[in-house]
């Protein structure tokens, strides 16, 4: 049985990984931490939780020792748009936090999962079917910290034998916790706006293609890679991973299959558009499929149907009051 510590557990990804890991390994075996406690009340009250900055080695060490942790899911980070607005804070949090976790993992023999991102690629990378092993010259601070993260995780593995593993997630779409300041946030917001207002104003251009994934697949990947046979993991910390690639215009078209009156408008945010332009249109994820059997379950249609169903139920009172139809 694993004994797991999660940093950044109350974020978009952490809140859903926590629930799945607690179901799989037992609530008391999944200790969660975050720098805030003003959200995620249910998670905080349902199992072990500590307020902890992931750069605070002393505090994390105490938690690892007292709970006899053997696996760390290190999720605390600043995402691309927030990082670009606060580049030095992002550098500090994303690299110092990871180094702190790796140092503890080395001392207490823990395995470490660290998510990397499509942000590790830059404008000089091949944009279509971006290969697993290719040029990585990102222009965003987020991307720079993520490339550094992949490399330092590789280093702790080959130099010290720490069992580090990770994936390059695409944009993640979910309906439990709102996204934390990324360039791909529009692809989540659009569903909330579709259900509540039947229209959405998008901050990226309609023809901007990016890789995306529905949260159940992202959680599945994080669990599967940590349970995979380590001998087969040649690309330990940097597996390209995708489930679908689409543009805002295309996503709006799929929403119209279920909400025909839905309209999309555009008001471009130059900062996030520039970041999106520097990322791949779509990646290939052959290495993940071959080395640990990665296979997504949701495509754009299945995800759209599910998101709209969940959100329609959640906002039923609101939409009924406005005389709107359900999906």
Which positions lie near ligand SER, rule CB under 6 A? 79-80, 117-119, 142, 171, 182-184
- Which residues neighbour 178 within 8 Å (Cβ) at sequence distance 6 or greater? 12, 188
Is the Cβ–Cβ distance between 30 and 9 less than 8 Å?
no
Nearest approach, Cβ of residue 287 and ligand SER (Å): 19
142 is catalytic: yes
Between CA 138 and CA 121 the distance in angstroms is 5
Round to whole Å and give the CA distance between 115 and 166: 5
180 by DSSP, 3-state: which? coil
Under the binding rule (CB under 6 A), the answer on residue 13 touching ligand NAD is yes
The active-site residue, picked from 142, 156, 209, 298, is: 142
Contact 292, 233 (CB under 8 A): yes
Determine, following the binding rule CB under 6 A, whether residue 8 of this chain makes contact with ligand NAD: yes
- In the structure encoding, which two tokens stand for residue 259, read together? 């909400």
Question: How is residue 264 written in tokens?
Answer: 């999309």
Kindly state whether residue 245 participates in binding ligand NAD, applying the rule CB under 6 A: no
Strand partners, 246: 210
Residues near 142 by beta carbon (within 8 Å), at least 6 away in sequence: 78, 79, 80, 83, 84, 90, 94, 117, 119, 275
Number of C-beta neighbours around residue 107 at 10 A? 13
171 forms part of the interface with ligand NAD (CB under 6 A): yes
Using the rule CB under 6 A, give the single segment among 152-160, 172-180, 227-235, 317-325 that binds ligand NAD: 172-180
CB of 326 to ligand NAD, least distance (A): 28
Nearer CB in complex with ligand SER: 180/206 = 180
Q: How far is the CB of 56 from ligand NAD (least distance, A)?
A: 8
Residue 143, binding choice from ligand SER, ligand NAD, none, Cβ under 5 to 8 Å by partner class: none
Q: Interface residues for ligand NAD in 223-242 (CB under 6 A)?
A: none
Q: Nearest residue to ligand SER, using CB? A: 182
183 binds, among ligand SER, ligand NAD, none (CB under 5 to 8 A by kind): ligand SER
Nearest to 202 by CA among 187, 213, 192: 187
- To the nearest whole angstrom, how small is the minimum distance from the Cβ of residue 292 to ligand NAD? 18
Least spacing, CB of residue 325 vs ligand NAD, in Å: 30
Which of residues 49 and 113 has its CB atom nearest to ligand SER in the complex?
113
Using CB under 6 A as the criterion, which residues of the chain lie in contact with ligand NAD when the complex forms? 7-8, 10-14, 34-36, 53-55, 75-77, 79, 93, 97, 115, 117, 169, 171-172, 179-180, 182, 184
* Active-site amino acid positions: 142
């Amino acid at each position: 049985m694993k004994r797991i510590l999660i940093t950044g557990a109350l974020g978009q990804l952490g809140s859903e990984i926590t629930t799945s890991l607690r179901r799989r390994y037992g609530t008391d075996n999944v200790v969660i931490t975050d720098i805030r406690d003003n959200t995620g009340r249910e998670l905080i009250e349902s199992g072990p939780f500590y307020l902890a900055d992931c750069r605070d080695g002393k505090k994390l060490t105490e938690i690892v020792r007292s709970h006899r942790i053997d696996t760390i899911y290190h999720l605390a980070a600043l995402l691309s748009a927030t990082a670009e607005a606060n580049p030095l804070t992002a550098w500090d949090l994303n690299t110092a936090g990871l180094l702190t976790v790796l140092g503890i993992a080395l001392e207490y023999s823990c395995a470490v999962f660290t998510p990397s991102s499509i942000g590790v690629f830059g404008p000089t990378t091949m944009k279509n079917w971006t290969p697993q092993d290719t040029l990585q010259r990102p222009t965003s601070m987020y991307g720079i910290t993520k490339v550094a993260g992949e490399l330092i995780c590789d280093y702790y593995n080959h130099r010290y034998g720490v069992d580090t593993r990770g994936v390059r997630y695409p944009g993640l779409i979910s309906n439990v916790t709102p996204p934390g300041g990324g360039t791909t946030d529009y692809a989540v917001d659009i569903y909330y706006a579709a259900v509540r207002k039947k229209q959405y104003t998008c901050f990226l251009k309609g023809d901007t293609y990016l890789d995306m994934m529905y949260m159940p697949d992202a959680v599945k990947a994080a669990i599967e890679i940590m349970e995979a046979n380590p001998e087969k993991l040649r690309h330990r910390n940097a597996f390209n991973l995708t489930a679908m690639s689409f543009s805002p215009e295309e996503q709006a078209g799929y929403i119209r299959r279920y909400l025909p009156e839905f309209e999309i408008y555009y008001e471009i945010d130059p900062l996030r558009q520039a970041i999106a332009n520097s990322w791949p249109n779509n990646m290939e994820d052959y290495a993940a499929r071959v080395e640990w059997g990665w296979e997504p379950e949701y495509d754009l249609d299945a995800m759209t149907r599910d998101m709209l169903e969940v959100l329609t139920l959640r906002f039923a009172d609101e939409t009924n009051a406005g005389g709107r139809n359900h999906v």
